[in-house]
A and B are shown apart, each in its own frame.
Chain A
């Protein structure tokens, strides 16, 4: 009759984005060798330097080992079973306008609530976020980018990276791999070899980007990997807020998503990067789901600021550490994270704050929620180098457990080589208790609503950091992710 927290755990959630789009695709046969890389590069008509860059990355990758230190378990990936390129056939030549986009794809995004028509976005239909420009990436290609013209007026460049290679080759050549080098790690090397598409953003000096920029990633094809590459450059004194969202159909086999995101914040610039990650998490028995192995890093010049906010509810396995290299004096890095794992999901996520400049500051707020039989790990590095005089870090790392079959783990690494720096670390672990649940129920609140209210309260510090339009969405997403799992 009455619910205990444990009884609530383990119901199955609905993954609303789990449908498949039936569109004819050009998908490369599984397997990875030089010819695949040349194929991808040729497909995108890339200049020779980039083809060479990819081939060199591939060479590095072949000599590297997959990292084993994360607190996650999965059978070794078979990289030859993955297809490294897939594009909807109808988009083969790249649509010039929205009228040329396959109606089946338009319907996909309508179902996902992503407005592709600028007029509709402005009028606020289809759950549109009014002031947001969106780049839409479907498997390996970008389908469309909205509000390009309006952004161009402000001098902002926002386009698929495959397009930027041609239109802004000099910037790409200069900055690609400048923050995450080709051989940074196993998955970054793989991405550098086979990256498909992603977004490129350039904000000119002194410009405050007039609207939110957003990229929506969708994996559709079976047995394909998505290897997106995003590069954001905020020139001196500029400001930009960027958000990415991601979903995938429900499939029984695991799919690999190995992205690289590089942020460059010049002197006095500010980049706010938010992620709402809702890749398919697998079913309640742990079958299927996305392996989300992602490298994200930003570099701050003098007085610059980079802020990462992430809400991670999806993926079978998450391996992700959005980091900031605080190279310039007085620069600021922030990391706000909510990671929720349910059923058999595993997350090993956190950040790295590398303090190089004087008076640099970083803040880390991490909220991990585990339920079902999931494992949720925070892993974070704060490094104060000898040059980082008077640098400061504050870390708060909270874990919330729901039920008694899940795990929460914290691995903070602190390396301090500077006697003038201050590093603070606070951590807590708590549980949604039967008493809390009973107290809420006694006030008429049903158990599922009660758990979602308690979890939302727990995440408040992070939700506050999300762009307004998405904070509500994140709250709802959390509710849905808990629904199946918790309550």
Chain B
């Protein structure tokens, strides 16, 4: 079974065509890196997978585990197993991180007809993950992303990823704005998430991240289409030559 199949996808935002017939297949256990110049449509792909309003699918299809998800609302897509680590995580003042995580987990369990997680086990698990990401436990009591540094916000996204254990993780420039230590911590987090049943789409500008999270495939997105695919060698080539030779 294919985890994610994107077929001939075209997407417009406010009548501007951004994606123009994009194809992508992600099988369970695979990591796909998506690279490409600014404005090529990388973040649009991430947002349209998660069902963000204002992104108009004009043609093509998206399916997860062989069922079509285009008509699902964002929270229903989350229930189906899609997770998006945001490029710019938003603040939710007054709602503590811990509370947010609990509500999220409870909602996912409810939608999937699974029993609600035991509170004690939940707290323990969250603290444990926070520790692996080098996040102070005090951080869990603060409002979601409220006054967090850029690095903390990104690590918080990975904390959510590790706790919610989605089937497909889409990481939108999670490496941007991270120093080298934070980058390694985040990469370790993503690597510990990986298994043979789930898939990762890594959107990044830099080859550097791929030294730590080794992708199975690297795709170059340019002008709304995938123009080149290869293994991690392609990323190294891009690092040397830039994108111009492909477009």
Chain A bound to chain B = yes
Please indicate which of the listed interface residues A433, A436, A440, A449 has the most CB atoms of chain B within 10 Å of its own CB: A440
CB neighbors of B among A423-445 (8 A): 430, 433-436, 438-445
Mark contacts of A315-329 with chain B using CB atoms, 8 A cut-off: 1 yes-contact digit, 0 otherwise.
000000000000000
* Cβ-neighbour of A453 out of B50, B51, B72, B95 (below 8 A): B95
Mark contacts of B28-62 with chain A using CB atoms, 8 A cut-off: 1 yes-contact digit, 0 otherwise.
00000000000000000000001111000000000
With a CB–CB cut-off of 8 A, which chain B residues contact A4?
53
* A1 engages B73 (CB within 8 Å): yes
* B94 engages A457 (CB within 8 Å): yes
* Cβ-neighbour of B52 out of A2, A457, A459, A460 (below 8 A): A2
* B90 engages A435 (CB within 8 Å): yes
Q: Once bound together, how far apart are the Cα atoms of A458 and B84, in whole Å?
A: 25
* Cβ-neighbour of A443 out of B72, B91, B94, B100 (below 8 A): B100
* B90 engages A454 (CB within 8 Å): no
* A444 engages B108 (CB within 8 Å): yes
Q: Once bound together, how far apart are the Cα atoms of A251 and B89, in whole Å?
A: 45
* B53 engages A2 (CB within 8 Å): yes
* B75 engages A439 (CB within 8 Å): no
With a CB–CB cut-off of 8 A, which chain B residues contact A449?
103, 107
Given contacts A443-B104, A445-B104, A449-B107, contact A436 B73 (CB under 8 A): no
Interchain nearest-CB distance for B247 vs A (Å): 31
Interchain nearest-CB distance for A368 vs B (Å): 14
Please indicate which of the listed interface residues B52, B86, B111 has the most CB atoms of chain A within 10 Å of its own CB: B52
* B75 engages A457 (CB within 8 Å): no
With a CB–CB cut-off of 8 A, which chain A residues contact B108?
443-444
Interchain nearest-CB distance for A253 vs B (Å): 38
Within 8 Å of chain A (Cβ to Cβ): is B181? no
Within 8 Å of chain A (Cβ to Cβ): is B230? no
Mark contacts of A84-115 with chain B using CB atoms, 8 A cut-off: 1 yes-contact digit, 0 otherwise.
00000000000000000000000000000000
With a CB–CB cut-off of 8 A, which chain B residues contact A446?
75, 107
Q: Once bound together, how far apart are the Cα atoms of A215 and B31, in whole Å?
A: 63
* B92 engages A439 (CB within 8 Å): yes
Interchain nearest-CB distance for A339 vs B (Å): 16
Q: What is the chain B residue whose CB lies nearest that of A459?
A: B94
With a CB–CB cut-off of 8 A, which chain A residues contact B90?
433, 435-436, 439
Determine chain A's interface SS by DSSP, over half rule. Answer: helix
With a CB–CB cut-off of 8 A, which chain B residues contact A438?
50, 52-53, 74
* B164 engages A460 (CB within 8 Å): no
* B74 engages A442 (CB within 8 Å): yes
Within 8 Å of chain B (Cβ to Cβ): is A282? no
Interchain nearest-CB distance for A201 vs B (Å): 34
User: Total A-B pairs in contact (CB under 8 Å)?
Assistant: 89
Q: Once bound together, how far apart are the Cα atoms of A4 and B229, in whole Å?
A: 36
* A441 engages B74 (CB within 8 Å): yes
With a CB–CB cut-off of 8 A, which chain B residues contact A2?
51-53, 73-74
Within 8 Å of chain B (Cβ to Cβ): is A456? yes
Given contacts A434-B53, A444-B78, contact A1 B71 (CB under 8 A): yes
Please indicate which of the listed interface residues B50, B95, B99, B103 has the most CB atoms of chain A within 10 Å of its own CB: B95
Within 8 Å of chain A (Cβ to Cβ): is B21? no
* A436 engages B104 (CB within 8 Å): no
Q: Once bound together, how far apart are the Cα atoms of A454 and B93, in whole Å?
A: 8
Q: Once bound together, how far apart are the Cα atoms of A439 and B84, in whole Å?
A: 9
With a CB–CB cut-off of 8 A, which chain A residues contact B151?
none
Within 8 Å of chain B (Cβ to Cβ): is A281? no
Q: What is the number of residues of chain A that contact chain B, defined by CB distance less than 8 Å?
A: 28
With a CB–CB cut-off of 8 A, which chain B residues contact A439?
86, 89-90, 92
Q: Once bound together, how far apart are the Cα atoms of A459 and B78, in whole Å?
A: 27
Q: Once bound together, how far apart are the Cα atoms of A441 and B71, in whole Å?
A: 15
With a CB–CB cut-off of 8 A, which chain A residues contact B89?
439
Given contacts A434-B53, A449-B107, contact A441 B73 (CB under 8 A): yes
* A460 engages B94 (CB within 8 Å): yes
Within 8 Å of chain B (Cβ to Cβ): is A447? yes
Within 8 Å of chain A (Cβ to Cβ): is B204? no
Interchain nearest-CB distance for B194 vs A (Å): 20
Q: Once bound together, how far apart are the Cα atoms of A435 and B90, in whole Å?
A: 7
* Cβ-neighbour of A457 out of B77, B83, B93, B160 (below 8 A): B93
Please indicate which of the listed interface residues A445, A460, A461 has the most CB atoms of chain B within 10 Å of its own CB: A445
With a CB–CB cut-off of 8 A, which chain A residues contact B78?
441-444
* A457 engages B92 (CB within 8 Å): yes
Q: Once bound together, how far apart are the Cα atoms of A416 and B52, in whole Å?
A: 50
Q: Once bound together, how far apart are the Cα atoms of A445 and B109, in whole Å?
A: 11
Within 8 Å of chain A (Cβ to Cβ): is B232? no
With a CB–CB cut-off of 8 A, which chain B residues contact A441?
51, 73-75, 78
Interchain nearest-CB distance for A47 vs B (Å): 52
Q: Once bound together, how far apart are the Cα atoms of A4 and B107, in whole Å?
A: 20
Q: Once bound together, how far apart are the Cα atoms of A439 and B73, in whole Å?
A: 12
CB neighbors of A among B125-141 (8 A): none
With a CB–CB cut-off of 8 A, which chain A residues contact B83?
442
Interchain nearest-CB distance for A272 vs B (Å): 23
With a CB–CB cut-off of 8 A, which chain A residues contact B77?
442
* B95 engages A456 (CB within 8 Å): yes
* Cβ-neighbour of A445 out of B50, B93, B103 (below 8 A): B103
With a CB–CB cut-off of 8 A, which chain B residues contact A436?
90-92
Within 8 Å of chain A (Cβ to Cβ): is B79? yes
With a CB–CB cut-off of 8 A, which chain A residues contact B103?
445, 449, 453
Q: Once bound together, how far apart are the Cα atoms of A438 and B103, in whole Å?
A: 15
Q: What is the chain A residue whose CB lies nearest that of B81?
A: A444
Within 8 Å of chain B (Cβ to Cβ): is A22? no
Please indicate which of the listed interface residues A435, A438, A453 has the most CB atoms of chain B within 10 Å of its own CB: A438
With a CB–CB cut-off of 8 A, which chain B residues contact A150?
none
10 pairs of residues in contact across A and B, judged by CB atoms under 8 Å: A1-B71, A4-B53, A430-B93, A435-B90, A436-B91, A438-B50, A439-B92, A444-B78, A456-B94, A456-B95
A443-B78, A443-B107 known; 12 new pairs, CB 8 Å cut-off, are A2-B74, A433-B90, A434-B53, A436-B90, A436-B91, A440-B75, A441-B51, A442-B74, A442-B77, A442-B86, A443-B104, A447-B73
Q: Top 7 A-B pairs ranked by shortest CB distance? A: A457-B94, A457-B95, A2-B53, A441-B74, A444-B78, A443-B104, A441-B75
Q: Which positions in A face B, CB cutoff 8 Å?
A: 1-4, 430, 433-436, 438-447, 449, 453-454, 456-461
